Chain A
Amino acid sequence: MSDQIMSQSLLDLKNISKVFKIGGGLGLISRRTIKAVDSVSFTIPSDKATITALVGESGSGKTTIARIILGFVEPTSGEVLYKNRRISDWLKKNRMGYLREVQPIFQDPYSVYNPFYKIERELEKIIKRFKLASSKAEKRELMLNALKDIGLRPGDLIGRYPHQLSGGERQRFMLARILLMKPRFIVADEPISMVDVSLRTTFLDYLASFKDKLDISCLYITHDLNVASYIADRIFVLCHGRVVEGGPTDAVIEDPLHPYTKLLVSSIAIPDPKRRWKEKTDLTSVESFEKLKAGEECIFSARCPYVKEICKQKAPPFLETKSGRRVACFLYF
């Protein structure tokens, strides 16, 4: 639908912030707030399917961004446009249409299935809800093909309950689900962290083939730069709720601009004993006691080795430097 109104962006996050209130109760005790997502803007282009990695440490707000895009959480300020329409608008007026096009893959394949129902119900529900099949035979055919295409043996799965499947099988079953729906956009939140090491690349390769063959874009959320560098075309780096750097994957990893990205890249454990870390981590830069701080200054200024006076006074804007590279750091302006 709506091919005419499509412009250059598939998904457009405009200045998204999300503030959570923590602690307190009954309004008697003063509540603290935590800014999980702080003025985040980025776009996913629509002309060509891409995999965009959102990289950040725990607490950087990456899952909150995923939940905002999926419509589970309302942003405190800012707006998210999908095909130039606000997500809240989509969900109100054409919820099914939105879900048809934007699909999640969650981190924990153990908690996404209802344990009381057989696994194939997950696929049957989709076929029914989106009216993908007109007869029982057609429904079965669709299900079997989706499973086979993802390298699962239907005979091993159909009729079984979620607890009878391994973590790898469950996560691949999610891929079969995606294949059945053929959405336009996938939000994958750490999808392989619970998959066996030897099977992880298979999962990633399916995501890549969805992009190449089915034109499905993906926002891939991860803390693992090794994985991001393998799967993504572009990377955005999140630090305490703010995007500090973005650009083509190879450029960001080979030549990180922001001091935080530099720290992340230098901390990657490369699975090769001949390429061990050269320098020690400066532990004082790693941990600070003020985790909840959300002031006006640059979010990384407390840990930054290149900190300048201006960094403590205001947050740097997220601006373009070289072609396609964007960074939020006063070192570059």
Chain B
Amino acid sequence: MACESESGMSVLEVQNLKVYFESVWGNYKVVDGVSFKTHKNEVFSIAGESGCGKSTLVDGILRLIKPPGHIHSGKVIFEGTNLLEIPEDEFRRIRWVKIAYVPQGAMNSLNPVLRVEEQITDAILDHSNMSKEESRELAISMLEKVSLPVEVARMYPHELSGGMKQRVIIATAIALNPILVIADEPTTALDVVVQKSILQLLGSLKENYGMTTIMISHDMAAHAQIADRIAIMYAGKVVEIGSIYDVFEQPLHPYTKGLISAIPSIGKKYVKSISGLAPGPLNWPKGCRFHPRCPSAMDICSEVEPTMKDVSSERHIACHLYE
């Protein structure tokens, strides 16, 4: 597929992943054929509005889909193995050790009756062969790495602010030195100043520890601040992938264009919403899924679904305008 020459560099490769949810009305095609590659040592962003399938995509990658949802087809290649084919206990050895996950609203997932240190050591002991003493030391050194004071180790979650809890979660996630960290909406519900500190922490993982980070967010400003490359999702599909600078400077897909010009920001005079409403996953529009809202729609757009094409080695887009 795209950029074969760099395949040696890719950490995670998703190939045509489809996650469907069964219902009496038919299949909800929430993630419907998503492909992308993350390079080593980068922050790869996945952007999209609510309902576009970005969180389900992550659940699919990590095999966290529960019935009535199922993975319809596709591959998730990590270190040469397809994660979707290996047995669950084998996958358990990869999860958290090699791929860490910071779920949405993670700061509310801390156990209220356990001290911070116990929560971190729990995760470490569960996924490694360390002794209790070793894991405790590691836990405390991890807190330092995410700029939390040592006293936090002895505290309970209710004593911490939202930003501190999020940092505890990130400390737990990176404790076993994973290759890949996946963070789903890591800054939602945090204050502006704290948001900045969490984003800077996530952005520093690649330099400080050589990790690759996948960040999912609806917040284009968050992506603009720390991402290296970005994938834009719309209606269960990726419509555009490119370097963050290219995508913001010259968005190609009409949806990306609309999304970027729809964000109010300081000093920006021209802001405009995309007309129409996002479609639902039971009946995606025929042809290109964006065509009912697209200002440059052509006849072909309502008939034929566009496929992902390479505009350049680093720029991929699914739109009939660029064929």
A binds B: yes
Q: Which residues from chain A sit less than 8 Å from chain B, CB to CB?
A: 57-58, 166-169, 196-202, 204-205, 223-227, 229-231, 253, 263-264, 267-277, 280-281, 283, 286-287, 289, 291
Partner of A226, one of B197, B200, B266: B266
Say yes or no: A264 contacts B193, CB within 8 Å. Answer: yes
CB distance from B273 to the nearest CB of A (A): 4
CB distance from A117 to the nearest CB of B (A): 23
- Chain A residues with CB below 8 A from B161, complex form: 287, 291
How far, in whole Å, are A274 and B147 apart by their CA atoms in the complex?
A: 27
Partner of A201, one of B50, B163, B249, B273: B273
- Chain A residues with CB below 8 A from B244, complex form: 273
Partner of B221, one of A168, A199, A271: A271
Say yes or no: A223 contacts B159, CB within 8 Å. Answer: no
- Chain B residues with CB below 8 A from A291, complex form: 161
- Inter-chain residue pair count (beta carbon < 8 A): 132
Chain B interface, >50% SS class: helix
CB distance from B163 to the nearest CB of A (A): 6
Tell whether B150 is near chain A: CB-to-CB under 8 Å: no
Tell whether B122 is near chain A: CB-to-CB under 8 Å: no
- Chain B residues with CB below 8 A from A226, complex form: 221, 263-266
Q: Which residues from chain B sit less than 8 Å from chain A, CB to CB?
A: 49-51, 147, 159, 161-164, 191-197, 199-200, 218-227, 244-245, 248-249, 258-260, 262-268, 271-274, 277-278
Q: Supply 15 A–B pairs (Cβ within 8 Å), ascending by A.
A: A57-B191, A197-B259, A198-B278, A199-B273, A202-B273, A229-B265, A230-B265, A267-B192, A269-B222, A270-B225, A272-B265, A274-B248, A275-B224, A280-B200, A289-B159
Partner of B220, one of A223, A253, A271: A271
Say yes or no: B197 contacts A281, CB within 8 Å. Answer: yes
Known: A198-B274, A280-B200. 18 other contacts (CB 8 A): A196-B49, A196-B51, A198-B258, A198-B262, A201-B262, A201-B264, A201-B271, A204-B264, A269-B196, A269-B199, A270-B266, A272-B248, A273-B227, A276-B226, A281-B193, A286-B197, A287-B161, A289-B159
How far, in whole Å, are A272 and B224 apart by their CA atoms in the complex?
A: 5
- Chain B residues with CB below 8 A from A263, complex form: 193
Say yes or no: B277 contacts A273, CB within 8 Å. Answer: no
CB distance from B105 to the nearest CB of A (A): 14
How far, in whole Å, are A1 and B274 apart by their CA atoms in the complex?
A: 40
